[in-house]
């Protein structure tokens, strides 16, 4: 009897026990599902490809393959370029091979804390754990498919895109950077962007907090071997961005994700093991003591990250698969593909977070805020202020150390409308706000007063437990803490009327106003001399900065005076480049209120009211809190926007800075 041969599509259905194995299988799946757009005419890798991918991801569109990517010298690359491969929640779930948002984390927790009693009674229930354990050690092979074709020693011939007009050059945006600890031999797989400096030089942007920087510091007197791998199975990409514990290598996690051992092979010119099924491998070495100016680069916060000094990879080999495809992404104003990747990782790792931090019931890192700007936390609330303790604990959990704002809630943290409700009904500015000064920040965070350092804001929007001194029924021997009845849930939270909003709209300097909830008002203003969104501002402008401070202070005082009953507890002010009544305003609000805001400079609590300034800061040395150079917003050139109109693409959504 002849055996029926299983097709690629059947082998790669989500929820099966098979890994994607390589990028080709993932692309075949997308094409079968009608989620892949093929563009056969030449498209420039500089600006055009990125603008098309941006428009697709922002409109909920398809993945795209540029079959004839055109290099800056006019040549057509022999390797196709693929973008927006993971640009939806459903697509990322399928790429992970997961059937629900926490499957990966649930499997990891089961492996970390197996149900021994249940397995003893029903031994077959332990088979999935055995399979997961067996899949983790990588499998060494003599030669990988990534080494099938030896290319010319010139990385400029790869279809690497330049996605934004002010980028410092072309960037590898989905790199899998392999480094090795010189003492233990442990490999790390990190995603650090790579700037193409020339045929044999690539800048490596590993920030001071990253494992790549750790490894580089351990090679102070020698050439550190490095490989930049591009493509391969989707589980490799997820492994490179996953917040793994230090004792779990990314290669092991990739095998765990794919439910089969990851194939690795010896690099041709460096003492490293690289993924055997990567599409492209760039090998080389880094002198950790020498750096070069890298950047600027349109980054995931929606701004250009500023230039900095980073090491350079000296290329020694470039190899590829026979039918290689180079995947890339574009990051900038949300929503973006990296946002869907980040949200998926956050949800999948929530069970691990809850395993390590037992008070965490749920967590949401909104893609609109670049992940490091805001975390919404659902916590257990058995004793007073437990949610605040939970938030403090999370600041020590890996890359969550970068968080700027944490909001604790009892409700679904993914529900924005519910979030607005609890901020309105359960936050007393006098007792529910915690500010922690001088903490770790993301190097890419533009609003902080100092690079790598900012203050953090914790907002407690949870219900009061019985033992809380504000509840009116404290523990025996304890005092009662003053608390308004609405905070106890005994009456509706006070607010302002629409007639008062109308008065506020008539104030000098107010462009528009919107009542988000009865005690929450967002006001837009025109700030003279604010940094141009296309260019930013590199140097202090003391005259306009002082005028901005005076205008904001005067506006705040005028609004507070109109609200004589102190019923307006939240006042947000931001620039008039936001349409408060347009479609997508909530998404844009999350981005604008968190990305242009520094806790140490722009957050004031006075007389039971919160003032939140999210206007674009003007660089200044003379104000109460200095403002650094302010970056430009990621925006496409008008010429590029016009050039991509030749393709039948979905329309741009509303409320983008275009």
Residue identified by tokens 């680069």 is: 297
Residues 6 or more apart in contact with residue 4 via CB below 8 angstroms: none
Alpha carbons 305 and 294: distance in angstroms, whole number: 10
Alpha carbons 558 and 560: distance in angstroms, whole number: 6
Alpha carbons 308 and 326: distance in angstroms, whole number: 27
Are residues 508 and 525 in contact, defined by beta-carbon separation less than 8 angstroms? no
Alpha carbons 100 and 115: distance in angstroms, whole number: 21
Are residues 655 and 585 in contact, defined by beta-carbon separation less than 8 angstroms? yes
Which residue(s) pair with 459 in the sheet? 407, 433
Alpha carbons 278 and 574: distance in angstroms, whole number: 45
Phi, psi of 460 (to 5 degrees): -95, 105
Alpha carbons 105 and 347: distance in angstroms, whole number: 8
Q: Among all residues, which ones are annotated catalytic?
A: 299
DSSP-assigned letters across all residues of 579-594 = -TTSTTHHHHHHHHHH
Q: How far is CA 207 from CA 53, 238, 329, 377, 395, in A?
A: 26, 19, 19, 27, 18
Alpha carbons 2 and 25: distance in angstroms, whole number: 25
Cα separation of the two ends of the chain:
63
| Cβ count within 10 A of residue 26 | 29
Alpha carbons 384 and 183: distance in angstroms, whole number: 47
Are residues 546 and 623 in contact, defined by beta-carbon separation less than 8 angstroms? yes
The separation between CA 215 and the C-alpha centre of its own chain, rounded to angstroms, equals: 24
């Amino acid at each position: 009897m002849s055996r029926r041969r299983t097709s690629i599509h059947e082998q790669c259905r989500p929820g099966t026990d098979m890994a994607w194995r390589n990028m080709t299988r993932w692309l075949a799946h997308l094409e079968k599902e009608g989620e892949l757009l093929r563009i056969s005419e030449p498209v420039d890798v500089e600006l055009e490809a990125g603008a098309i991918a941006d428009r697709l991801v922002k409109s909920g569109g398809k993945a795209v393959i540029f079959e004839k990517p055109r290099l800056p010298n006019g040549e057509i690359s022999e390797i196709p370029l693929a973008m927006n491969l993971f640009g939806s929640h459903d697509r990322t779930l399928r790429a992970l091979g997961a059937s629900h948002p926490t499957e990966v984390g649930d499997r990891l927790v089961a492996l970390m804390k197996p149900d021994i009693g249940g397995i003893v009674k029903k031994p077959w229930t332990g088979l999935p754990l055995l399979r997961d354990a067996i899949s983790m050690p990588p499998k060494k092979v003599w030669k990988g498919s990534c080494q099938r074709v030896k290319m010319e020693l010139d990385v400029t011939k790869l279809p690497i895109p330049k996605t934004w007009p002010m980028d410092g050059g072309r960037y590898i945006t989905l790199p899998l950077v392999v480094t090795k600890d010189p003492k233990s031999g442990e490999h790390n797989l990190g995603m650090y962007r790579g700037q193409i400096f020339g045929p044999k030089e690539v800048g490596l942007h590993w920030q001071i907090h990253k494992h790549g920087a750790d490894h580089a510091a351990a090679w102070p007197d020698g050439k550190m071997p490095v490989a930049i791998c591009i493509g391969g199975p989707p589980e490799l990409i997820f492994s490179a961005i996953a917040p793994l514990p230090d004792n779990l290598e990314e290669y092991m996690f990739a095998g765990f994700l794919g439910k089969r051992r990851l194939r690795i092979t010896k690099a041709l010119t460096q003492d490293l093991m690289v993924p055997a099924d990567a599409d492209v491998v760039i090998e080389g070495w880094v002198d950790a003591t020498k750096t070069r100016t890298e950047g600027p680069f349109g980054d995931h916060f929606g701004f250009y990250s500023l230039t900095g000094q980073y090491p350079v990879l000296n290329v020694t080999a470039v190899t590829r698969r026979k039918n290689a495809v180079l995947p890339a992404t574009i990051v900038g104003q949300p929503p973006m593909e990296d946002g869907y990747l980040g949200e998926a990782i956050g949800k999948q790792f929530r069970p691990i977070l809850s395993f390590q931090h037992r008070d965490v019931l749920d967590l949401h890192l909104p893609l609109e805020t670049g992940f490091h700007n805001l975390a919404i936390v659902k916590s257990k609330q058995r004793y007073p202020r437990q949610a605040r303790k939970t938030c403090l604990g999370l600041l020590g959990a890996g890359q969550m150390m970068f968080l700027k704002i944490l909001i604790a809630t009892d409700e679904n943290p993914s529900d924005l409308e519910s979030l607005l409700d609890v901020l309105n009904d359960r936050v007393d500015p006098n007792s529910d706000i915690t500010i922690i000064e001088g903490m770790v920040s993301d190097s890419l965070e533009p609003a902080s007063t100092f690079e790598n350092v900012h203050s953090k804001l914790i907002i407690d929007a949870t219900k009061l437990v019985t033992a809380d001194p504000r509840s009116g029924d404290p523990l025996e021997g304890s005092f009662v803490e003053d608390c308004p009845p609405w905070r106890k849930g005994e009456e509706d939270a006070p607010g302002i009327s629409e007639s008062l909003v109308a008065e506020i709209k008539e104030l000098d300097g107010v462009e528009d106003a919107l009542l988000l909830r009865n005690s929450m008002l967002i006001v837009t203003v025109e700030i003279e001399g604010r940094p141009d969104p296309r260019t930013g501002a590199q140097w202090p402008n003391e005259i306009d900065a002082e005028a901005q401070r005076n205008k904001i202070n005067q506006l705040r005082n005028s609004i507070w005076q109109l609200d004589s009953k102190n019923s307006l507890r939240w006042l947000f002010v931001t620039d008039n480049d936001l349409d408060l009544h347009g479609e997508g305003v909530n998404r844009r609000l999350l981005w604008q209120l968190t990305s242009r805001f520094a806790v140490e400079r722009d957050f004031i609590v006075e007389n039971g009211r919160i003032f939140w300034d999210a206007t674009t800061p003007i660089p200044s040395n003379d104000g109460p809190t200095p403002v650094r150079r302010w970056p430009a917003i990621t925006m496409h050139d008008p010429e590029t926007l016009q050039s991509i109109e030749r393709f039948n693409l979905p329309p741009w959504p509303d409320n983008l800075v275009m």
